Chains A and B, each alone.
Chain A
Amino acid sequence: MSISVVKNSNLDADRAIRTASALSVRGLTVSYGQTPAIFSVDMTVRTGAMTAIVGPNGAGKSTLLKAALGVVKPLAGTVSVFGQPLARMRDRIAYVPQRASVDWDFPTRVIDVVMMGMYRKLGLLGRIRASHRAQAMACLDRVGMSDFATRQIGQLSGGQQQRVFLARALAQDADIYVLDEPFAGVDAATEKAIIAVLKELRDTGRTVVAVHHDLTTVPDYFDDVVLLNTQIVAAGLVSKTFTEQNLQATYGGRLATARADLESTAG
């Protein structure tokens, strides 16, 4: 009798956590070949917080994001968004893929890329109205790119391309923003602009999850951190989880290398 009571209260608590979490994955396993890229990952992303996913190269960080977004099909596991299955909650999530994942010589202009963020709302044949264009321009303005609206995307610098990707996600007007290495290969001004936008999103109740490489900026930028190396090593508040010991456990012998790389790129 007493056991079942305990069980029930545990279930209730679990349910409460799940509904409070913006994004929750359970037992997520993805494999591209023989070895799993991520294995049995449980992750809970707090609503209204900025969460960094950190880990060495090949740890499965991008894979975790893609599986959570349904971009990669997992072998096992479930994803829920605000306690609901992902398929029903697509409108609530905006994805910013790695900049290197697309062909920037594609025949399209900056404003056209941002408009892609509204395709779900517009549907197949919905008319694009002046208000939609104005909205897209406003998103470009937020990332400081409104002067580039009619440029071909190949003419942009890496940082400018990254900002356009962020503007496209902003155009979705989502509740959760999922970013894959948003600061990879961008200039300092862009990094500042992007982090300002992300913090603004968080401060208006949105949830931000980003794969992040630069260990030195994790405490400045993020509230929560997930340390990943194929499996979850540790997860929680940056102040409690982002410890030397946990980092050592995540990176192993590569921790020194990871830091040296950062110093050489910073210098």
Chain B
Amino acid sequence: MGAEFVALSLPSMLIGICVAVACALPGNFLLLRRQALIGDAISHVVLPGIVVAFLLTGLVATGPMLVGAAAAAVLAVVAIEAIRRLGRIEAGAAMGVVFTAMFAGGVLLLEQSDTSNVHLDVEHALFGNLESLIWLDATGWRSLLDLDALATIPVELPRMAVALIVICAFLYVFWRPLSVSTFDEGYAQGLGIATAPLGLALVVISAIAAVAAFDAVGSIIVIAMFICPPAAARMVTNRLGHQVAWSAAFAALAAIIGYVLAGYGPLWLGAYGSVSAAGMIATVSGVILAIAALAGPHRAPTA
């Protein structure tokens, strides 16, 4: 049981937890700044970026895909700003236009190009393939201390762990300017805080989370994790630091419960096979949000 778990489930579960927490952390600030849709936008526009990168290089490799996705994210942010300023259209509408158009463009590109021999399709883009990230060389818990075996751990895990560390470091270092400028932008500017570059940095950090996560888990889980755990956490506490901590806990919980339910839930219900882990994790995060909305101690505006 131990060996099987370490080889088949542990990497996927850890990746799921890293993805969930990496998205939930910046999601807190996006939510409080009423920019939650940015997470949604970024995770959609990643698709055309990856497809273009594939068409240019002809291979599904991590490096080009990350570059392509990042370029698409930057292009989307610029396009959203341009539409908002030039067209004088509300930010949410500008985002909606840009990310749906870019995602649709990505789907068209994908259908037109010959990707039949590589693992790149619309379903993959939405749900990823978390379950397939298995660790072949693992023979048990001791493999975690075996350098040779560790070398074959799915590359998504160290990549996601690095992304998570970068995000944590960013939030730790810029906690004060971020929290002041999120609460009271005018006052923050009066303190001399460069709020515009800081806001952009937050979007870039969110993009890092989305891009790193996309390949492993698809866009559904990313979108859910940017919003559900922070929104649930807001209803549990009235302090920003506590909210961020709760959101990380909810995200990890959703990842674990969702992964287990996806793998074993159908069996428990007497059915065969399993369901999409990414889909189930996103669903569980929604259920956690619903519970917090019904029973959280701070669910109503206090004013």
Contacts and interface: CB of A to CB of B under 8 A. Distances in A.
Is this pair of chains taken from one and the same complex? yes
Interface of A: 66, 69-71, 87, 90, 93-95, 97, 101-109, 112-113, 116, 119-120, 122, 124-125, 152, 154-155, 168, 178
Contacts of A71: 186, 189-190
B176 interface: yes
Contact of B176 (A101, A122, A154, A178): A122
A107 B238 contact: yes
B240 interface: yes
Given A119-B176, A120-B192, A106 B183 contact: yes
Interface residue tally on B, bucketed by range: 20 to 34
Query: B interface, by DSSP: helix, strand, loop or mixed?
Result: helix
B118 interface: no
Given A124-B173, A152-B302, A155-B302, A95 B234 contact: no
A108 B183 contact: yes
A7 B238 CA distance: 61
Most chain B CB within 10 A, of A94, A106, A109, is at A106
Nearest to A113: B183
Interface of B: 32, 173-177, 179-180, 182-184, 186-187, 189-192, 234, 237-240, 242-243, 298, 301-303
A80 to B, nearest CB: 16
Nearest to A178: B190
B183 A105 contact: no
Contact of A124 (B177, B183, B187, B237): B177
B240 A107 contact: yes
A104 B187 CA distance: 14
Contacts of B302: 105, 152, 154-155
A107 B243 CA distance: 8
Nearest to A124: B173
A94 B302 CA distance: 28
Given A105-B303, A124-B173, A152-B302, A97 B243 contact: no
